[in-house]
Amino acid sequence: MDKDELETKIAQLEKLGEERTNLMSISAHELRTLLTSLKWMLRMLVDGDVGALTTEQKHLLSKGFENTERMISIVGEMLVIGHTANPLEATKEKEVVDIVELIDSILFNFTGESYKKGVEMLFLKPDNGMTKISIHTNQVRVILQNLIENAIKYSSHGDRVFISVSDTGTYIRISIRDTGIGILKEDQPQIFNKFFRAPNAQKHEAVGTGLGLYTSKLIAEMEGGELSFTSIEKVDDESEHGTTFFLDLPKVTK
Amino acid sequence: MAKILIVEDDTFLQGLEVSTFKKAGFDVEISSDGKGAVGKVDGTKFDCILLDLMLPGEIDGFGVLEKVRAGATNKETPVLVFSNMADTDSFKKATGLGATEFIIKSSVVLEELVDKVKGFAK
């Protein structure tokens, strides 16, 4: 294949990739719209807005509401996977961004949720200006949103989430530490598996797809970085517990 | 009584939104497409506008938002974009055009939406 043929092929693949992404966006939108109406209807029924229910009816409809929320999450995360797992995304130009500014903007979107849950978020910003990285911003945003959302989700009222940025030499490391429920030792090897949700996580929070960490690790590796963690399961309120995720991203090379 | 405009093309969702907001004590006007919405925002001052993005016809939600911010009547009116287009580009475009807030429909229940609108439509 000569250079011109190759360039034509690449252009065709990029177009196909774009059409696929658009199709997924439209399908996701349609699914979300249908699920929204189902969610709202179920909530109105559970709340007694259209008449009183028996205990059993309320229980069944509540389960339906939970499952609808779960379906909405799955649609969202499958959209992310479909978009980010497209190899052509990795061929697009990276941007040089200030990771501190990116994290700030993401945290702003979570202020309502963390306040409602009584979870304090603390961003320990670095003193020096070593925070520029070369990334696909939208992709990395997905990882950070996933990790921060999980940190809040698996924490309880009074817990704290600490976010910090450091330089490991090869990478810029973003650490997200929570003081929440932690991950059991026996579940840790599976935490990045597709659709895996640890039993203690499911008990703490019924809604979840098990796709968030799988997607995040995939994106981190596509960005030339790594995603890892340490965790101690919560046994009681006194002993140390919680999870720290480390997102390592390649530094800007001069 | 606070006056709001709901711009929503899905008939079923529109019906649920309208009845919920009326029960909550709002004076509600509706539009099912962009052209109708633009006509309403030119002539009537609203306390809050709830705006879907995917609308039939020539003018979508972004087009309506542009007109709202360019016009005199509702230039400062809070516009809550209320959509299931949950991608970053839509969010950036809506915010850039002057949306007060971007709410993903499937992430809220109606009572949460009412509380939000109450906060804006004081």
Please report the DSSP string for B23-58 in residue order.
HTT-EEEEESSHHHHHHHHHH---SEEEE-S--SSS
Residue A82 has pLDDT above 70, yes or no: no
Which residues 6+ apart lie within 8 Å of A87 measured at CB?
none
For A149-161, how does the pLDDT look when each residue is reduced to its tens digit (9 = 90+)?
899 988 999 999 9
pLDDT for the residue numbered A129: 67
**Among B12, B88, B110, beta carbon nearest to A138:** B88
Across B3-15, average pLDDT = 94
Q: Cβ contacts (< 8 Å) between B6 and chain A: which residues?
A: none
Q: Do B88 and A39 touch (CB under 8 A)?
A: no
Nearest CA in chain A to B19: A49
Interface test with A, best of B84, B102, B107, B115 (most A CBs within 10 A): B84
pLDDT for the residue numbered A142: 84
Express as a percent the part of chain A with pLDDT over 70: 91
Q: Which residues of B touch A (CB under 8 A)?
A: 10, 12-13, 16, 54, 84-88, 104-107, 109-111
CA–CA distances in Å: residue A81 to residues A78, A139, A189, A217? 5, 10, 21, 11
Residue A85 has pLDDT above 60, yes or no: no
Highest-pLDDT range among A7-11, A154-158, A160-164, A210-214: A160-164
Higher pLDDT, A236 or A80: A236
pLDDT for the residue numbered A244: 96
Q: Cβ contacts (< 8 Å) between B106 and chain A: which residues?
A: 32-33, 35-36, 39, 72, 75
Query: Residue A231: how many CA atoms within 13 Å on its side-chain side?
Result: 23
Q: Find the range with the poorest average confidence among A116-120, A155-159, A197-201, A250-254.
A: A250-254
**Terminal CA-CA length for chain B:** 10
Higher pLDDT, A2 or A229: A229
Residue A97 bridge partners (DSSP): A133
For A98-109, how does the pLDDT look when each residue is reduced to its tens digit (9 = 90+)?
899 889 888 887
**Predicted confidence band at A70 (pLDDT cuts at 50, 70, 90)?**
confident
Q: Cβ contacts (< 8 Å) between A36 and chain B: which residues?
A: 13, 84, 105-106
Average pLDDT, chain A: 85
Nearest CA in chain B to A21: B87
Reduce the DSSP state of residue A171 to 3 states and report it: strand
Across A217-241, average pLDDT = 89
Across A14-35, average pLDDT = 80
**Among B10, B16, B110, beta carbon nearest to A33:** B10
**Predicted confidence band at B41 (pLDDT cuts at 50, 70, 90)?**
very high
Amino acid symbol at B22 = K
Across A132-145, average pLDDT = 87
**Among B13, B88, B107, beta carbon nearest to A37:** B13
Per-position b or e across A60-89, b if 16+ CB within 10 A of its CB: ebeebbeebbebbbbbbbbbbbbbbebeeb
Higher pLDDT, A206 or B103: B103
Higher pLDDT, A14 or A97: A97
**Predicted confidence band at A24 (pLDDT cuts at 50, 70, 90)?**
confident
Report the distance separating Cα A71 and Cα B10, nearest Å.
20
Across A199-219, average pLDDT = 79
**Predicted confidence band at A254 (pLDDT cuts at 50, 70, 90)?**
low
Q: State the smallest CA–CA distance between residue B96 and chain A in angstroms.
A: 15
What's the token pair of residue B27?
């004076």
Express as a percent the part of chain B with pLDDT over 70: 99
**Predicted confidence band at A114 (pLDDT cuts at 50, 70, 90)?**
confident
pLDDT for the residue numbered A245: 97
Residue B28 bridge partners (DSSP): B4
Q: Does A72 touch chain B (CB under 8 A)?
A: yes
Q: Does A70 touch chain B (CB under 8 A)?
A: no
Q: Do A36 and B13 touch (CB under 8 A)?
A: yes
Across B68-94, average pLDDT = 88
Q: Do A25 and B12 touch (CB under 8 A)?
A: no
Across B66-90, average pLDDT = 89
Total-model pTM: 0.65
Across A225-244, average pLDDT = 89
**Predicted confidence band at A39 (pLDDT cuts at 50, 70, 90)?**
very high
Q: State the smallest CA–CA distance between residue B72 and chain A in angstroms.
A: 30
